Structure formats: C-alpha cells, structure tokens
Amino acid sequence: MQILQTPAEMQEHARALKRSGRVIGLVPTMGFLHAGHVSLMRLARAQCDELVVSLFVNPPQFGPAEDLDAYPRDFKQDEALCRQAGVDAVFYPKAADMYAADASVWIDEDVLSGGLCGAARPGHFRGVCTVVAKLFNLVLPDLAVFGEKDAQQLRIIERMVRDLNFPVQVVRGPMVREPDGLAMSSRNKYLSERQRKDALVLRQALDHAGQLVGQGERCVRVVRDAMIAMIEKIPGTAVDYIDLVDDQSLAPVDRVERAVLVAVAVKIGAIRLIDNDVLNV
C-alpha cells in the first residue's frame, strides 16, 4: 500500500494508472476510520482495480465555532484499517498543500444545500464541494463512494457531478450502525457512557416516524412534532433540526405522499450527531 502525501504525488500516480487502463475507485474520508468507512472501501474495492482512500480533515468545511482542532485523528489506526481492507493507496495531504494561502476559487451549490445541515452550518457545503472537486482532479477516479449517513452531502455531490460533468460514477454506500442502532460516526467517541445511551433516541425517533407513517399518518407536522417530543424527553438534548423533505430535491414537504427523507441533527451535550431515514408510502 502506497502513502502519498502531496497533491503532485497523488496526481502523478493517478495519471500513471490512467495510462495503464486501470479503473480507479476513491473513498474520501476525514480519517479516524471505523467500520462504516470500511464498508465503503469494500464496496469500492469490488468495483475497481485501484482503490484510493483519502484521509484529510478539510478546514474549509468547519465553521469558526466547530471542532476542527479537536476532530479525532489516528493515522496509524487508519493505515492499519486501510491495509486490512485492501486499499492500494492512501492520500494523506496537509492543508497547506491542498489550499494556497491566497486561494480564492470555491464551488457552491445553491439549492440542495439551503436547508438541513446547510442552514445550520453556513459555508459547510462550499468546503465539501470544493475539496471533493479537488480530490476528483487529483485522484482521477472512475467511481467514488459516499455514505448514506451524510444524506444531504451525498445528494449535493451527485448534483455537482451532474452539473459540472465530472466523469465520475457516484456510488451510494448504505448506512452502517452499531448493534444497538446508533449510526456510526467518528464523533461518537466524544460521548460519555450516559450520553452514548441517550444518543439512541435519534434512531428511536426515526423508527417512531416510520411507525406513524406506516399507520397512515401523512401530515409532516404531526410526525415532526412527535419526533421532537420524544427527543426532548431526554435531558441534555437539543434539537438542531428535524426535517422531512423530498428525497431527491430536498425541498420541504407538507405531506408524506412520496419518498421522503427524514433528517435529524441533535446535540447530546456539546456533541452534534446526525441521522436519517427514507420513508416510502
């Protein structure tokens, strides 16, 4: 397994692979890998000749009050997991090499990014789109795998690929959960034992929404209010947002009459967790 640390090294390696006709798969990550990331690697591994995993904590997608400096990092653990998953190359750049000091060109998405995490984290998806575009230009992947856990991000990247004509197939990776139902996340490590138990309410609220719709409830307000009430019963929780939106356009809906994405962001103490599910009728 190769470890490539500069954009120039990565791009030179990718160009050589392209010349030899190899199919390149990319799994972009911010490191501190867990089983959810490994599932994305395995999905990519089955569809490519050369698997590249990027490990890069991307500063522009963090807001001023967010946890950039505290974001967990463990390169040795990440390297070991990548080797076990059959990764061919790890791209592990420094921020100073990825962004010029006077960088002034960014990629914005203006529709899908307006709500959900985009509303709660201004500028976040500008940072995401820009770094993913840079990775596409450096790794030259034929396919890239993104997880369903970050549902809004996934749909924004799909739109970016479509609108900017990137020759990349975006592959959706299914959500991976802990045995008790908590969505896997690098931020879970911040939770105390008590908070870890309290965090299960996210999944419970999503299940409750599915049950209500399964019983015939179609009013979004009723479903949303029931989810909020369930979460707010847990001391120390704060709802950032709970929204039901069209699964493709992410536009708000009043009634559940087609595929609807239910997305939640909740703070458990100071830790912000997200989760989602798709309701079909």
Q: Are 35 and 176 in contact (CB under 8 A)?
A: yes
DSSP helix/strand/coil, 175: coil
Q: What is the DSSP string of 109-131?
A: -SSTTSSHHHHHSTTHHHHHHHH
The single residue of 13, 34, 37, 124 carrying the catalytic annotation is: 37
55 residue type, one letter: L
37 part of the active site: yes
CA pair distance 87, 78, nearest whole angstrom:
11
Q: Are 265 and 150 in contact (CB under 8 A)?
A: no
CA pair distance 109, 61, nearest whole angstrom:
14
- Where b means 16+ CB within 10 Å and e means fewer, 66-93 reads eeeeebeeeeeebbebbeebebbbbbbb
Radius of gyration for the alpha carbons in the chain, expressed in angstroms and rounded: 19
Question: Max CA-CA distance within the chain?
Answer: 59
What positions carry a catalytic annotation?
37
